[in-house]
A and B are shown apart, each in its own frame.
Chain A
Amino acid sequence: MTCVMTCTMATAALTSFAAHAEDVHVLNWKGYGTDEPWALKEFEAKTGYHVVNDFFNSEQEMLTKLRTNPGAYDVVMVNSAFNQQAREQNLLQPIDVTGMPNVADLNPKMRHSHLLEIGGQSYGIPWVWGVTSFAVNDTKVHPVPDTIQALWDPAYKGHVGMRDDAIEAVQFAALATGQNINDIKNLDAVKDKLKALTGQLKTFWSSENDWNQYVASGVFYISTYWSGSAARARNKFNLPVTFVIPKEGAIGWLDSLSIPKGAHNVAGAKAFINTMIDPGFYTQWDSRVGAPVSANVKAVAALPANAFNRAVLANPAVQSRIQFQEPITDDKRKAYLQLWQEIKAQAD
């Protein structure tokens, strides 16, 4: 056993050392585009770089990993609302986009978003964006509602789902009370709304698979969800799901790819990011697996005309209702968390 153990550790140390120069270390959610085996194979064949994936289960964890492992990662996926925090904690480096041809095709508003570009320097390349709203099981809920108040409809009591996320909860309640999600003035109204909502809930979901299972088994009739995931539930899992962007609006998020400070393989990182925003990769990703909307307008245009991402979310009327998330200060975040925990603790 000693021999096996020592040999394993030695081999691991040797291979990690030897393969070091040719590796690109990527940090992201699991199953979120950067670890698709077919894409990585193509990338390695084209560029010679071998991709090593690591994952996180929450944004806080992502920050912790960056903090406690400087230089360990070359590419990190940072939600744009967290980019400021990561920057302020000295975890990211500015990206020089020369040699990244696909950057020119990015949606200019996103490319130069104040969330990602500071003083003319880019700290994150916009990658994909999507919307958090709600979806219904259209065999149980008809007609399909067009208002967010449907979540509070007593007819669906005990069959409502949402994600256990304080920020999301507060922002949903803000939408339902007609407020700007990034500048909530009336927190009491939000509190009341959320108290009422917890009475409607059956449970929280934390993953796509959870959500799909709950809809399939009849636990959820109506639940908050992500746009891309709803498309996947419909197309891949054949669930009778309709995604709704109500008149009150929806929460928008933009995910971007950044290069951490101290990254060993910046050239490899840039090549990888360029591939991730490439229309060739994106169309395959969306059709094979299902993806959010690409920030590359050419990539979206390359999708089939009836693709959800192209047909629904590219619609300007819809886009005007979307409120994109801005960074939140730590203090506000803690306050929202405590508010949410208090409400949950009272659930009976």
Chain B
Amino acid sequence: MKFALSSPQGRPLARAMTLAGPAYVWLLLAVFLPLSVMLFYSFMSDVPTSGGTWSLTFQNYLTFFDEPLYRKLMVRSLGLSAQVTLICTVLGFPCAYMLAKVIRGRTREALFLLIILPFWSNGLVRIFSWNMVLRSGGLVDWLLSHLWPWTVSTDLMFSYPAIVIGLVHSYLPYSVLTAYLSLQAIDDSLIEAARSMGAGRLTILRRLILPLAMPGMLAGAVLTFVPAVGAFMEPRLLGGRKGTFIGTVIEDQFVAVFNWPLGAALSFTLLALVLAILFAGMRLGRRREK
């Protein structure tokens, strides 16, 4: 719903620019201009260094279409990210609901903070801690062996499930907290009114709560999906030999060889795909509403 808050006082663009200006100037200087340099590199054959020659080319982008390797990995990464986002959204929603609607008072605020706290532990140390939990002989095994009469050895480490667990753990707080933000703003009287009209729990959930919580859930999904596609730490450390994804391959272009143009081209292709997916998702969402 857009309405002109601005009409009494004049040009909306000017007011909007005053508010949003500082943030975007900062982004321009710190991110957009540097990335533009990278974008330029992606069209080069080689990065200019003293003693080398370079030329402009589309080859780096064409490689994506020539080599099945990159397409395959892009699909794999998008799939992984989608799975992680789905799991986070589904797992996070009930938790957010409890926090927003059921738990009250100081406990609620304490829990809100407790959920954010794992973010502040160092990411690398967290991933290594997962190693201790998931490996054969690790915590999971130890627990199972105490609860189960037979000797069980799960070896979740260095596998796709381990990567998913690690990523879900890293991004779950986003889902919980963004959903919480929307849920908490829902007026309780709405729910009571609906109930007093005879609406069942499921109907209230479907027709009232979920739609109103959508903005938060979508924000959480976006904050999870977008970064997870380019993830390289969790796949490398938790996935072992199965941990090859587009993020790790891009990293290799900078760390194992001096192929910045290819790495940059792959990154911008990734960005384009992600934006396309988000755009398509928005379109779909808008169409369903009508």
Decide if A and B touch, CB cutoff 8 A: yes
Taking Cβ atoms with an 8 Å cutoff, the residues of A that contact B are 57-58, 60-61, 63, 67, 88-90, 164-166, 198, 201-204, 217-219, 330, 333-334, 337-338, 341-342, 344-345, 347-348
Q: Within 8 Å CB of B259, what residues of A?
A: 334, 337
Q: Within 8 Å CB of B255, what residues of A?
A: 57-58, 60-61
**Interface pairs (28), CB distance under 8 Å:** A57-B255, A58-B255, A60-B254, A63-B258, A89-B52, A90-B49, A90-B50, A165-B256, A201-B240, A201-B241, A203-B157, A203-B240, A217-B137, A219-B136, A219-B157, A333-B256, A333-B257, A334-B259, A337-B252, A337-B257, A338-B69, A341-B249, A345-B69, A345-B72, A345-B73, A345-B244, A347-B241, A348-B242
User: Does B135 interact with chain A (Cβ within 8 Å)?
Assistant: yes
Taking Cβ atoms with an 8 Å cutoff, the residues of B that contact A are 49-52, 67, 69, 72-73, 76, 135-137, 157-158, 236, 240-242, 244, 249, 252, 254-259
In-complex Cβ contact of A334 among B69, B76, B257 (8 A): B257
The binding surface of chain B is classed by DSSP as loop
Cα distance, A334 to B49, chains bound together (Å): 18
The answer to whether A337 and B67 have CB atoms under 8 Å apart is no
- Closest approach, in angstroms, between the C-beta of B67 and any C-beta of chain A? 7
The answer to whether B258 and A166 have CB atoms under 8 Å apart is no
B259's nearest neighbour on chain A, judged by CB, is A334
Q: A165-B256, A330-B257 are in contact. Are A217 and B135 (CB under 8 A)?
A: yes
In-complex Cβ contact of B49 among A58, A67, A198 (8 A): A67
A87's nearest neighbour on chain B, judged by CB, is B51
Q: Within 8 Å CB of B258, what residues of A?
A: 60, 63, 330
Q: Within 8 Å CB of A333, what residues of B?
A: 256-257
Q: Within 8 Å CB of A330, what residues of B?
A: 257-258
Cα distance, A89 to B52, chains bound together (Å): 8
The answer to whether B49 and A202 have CB atoms under 8 Å apart is no
The answer to whether A166 and B256 have CB atoms under 8 Å apart is yes
Cα distance, A166 to B257, chains bound together (Å): 10
Cα distance, A61 to B252, chains bound together (Å): 11
Q: Within 8 Å CB of B236, what residues of A?
A: 164, 204
The answer to whether B240 and A204 have CB atoms under 8 Å apart is yes
Cα distance, A338 to B137, chains bound together (Å): 35
- Closest approach, in angstroms, between the C-beta of B230 and any C-beta of chain A? 16
Q: Within 8 Å CB of A218, what residues of B?
A: 136-137
The answer to whether A203 and B256 have CB atoms under 8 Å apart is no
Cα distance, A330 to B135, chains bound together (Å): 38
B241's nearest neighbour on chain A, judged by CB, is A201
Question: Which 5 pairs, one residue from A and one from B, show the smallest C-beta to C-beta distance?
Answer: A203-B240, A203-B158, A344-B244, A90-B50, A201-B241
Q: A60-B258, A67-B49, A345-B69 are in contact. Are A202 and B240 (CB under 8 A)?
A: yes
Cα distance, A337 to B69, chains bound together (Å): 12
Cα distance, A334 to B256, chains bound together (Å): 9
Q: Within 8 Å CB of A89, what residues of B?
A: 49-52
- Closest approach, in angstroms, between the C-beta of B117 and any C-beta of chain A? 23
The answer to whether A198 and B256 have CB atoms under 8 Å apart is no
In-complex Cβ contact of A60 among B51, B69, B76, B256 (8 A): B256
Q: Within 8 Å CB of B49, what residues of A?
A: 67, 89-90
In-complex Cβ contact of B51 among A88, A201, A219 (8 A): A88
- Closest approach, in angstroms, between the C-beta of B233 and any C-beta of chain A? 12
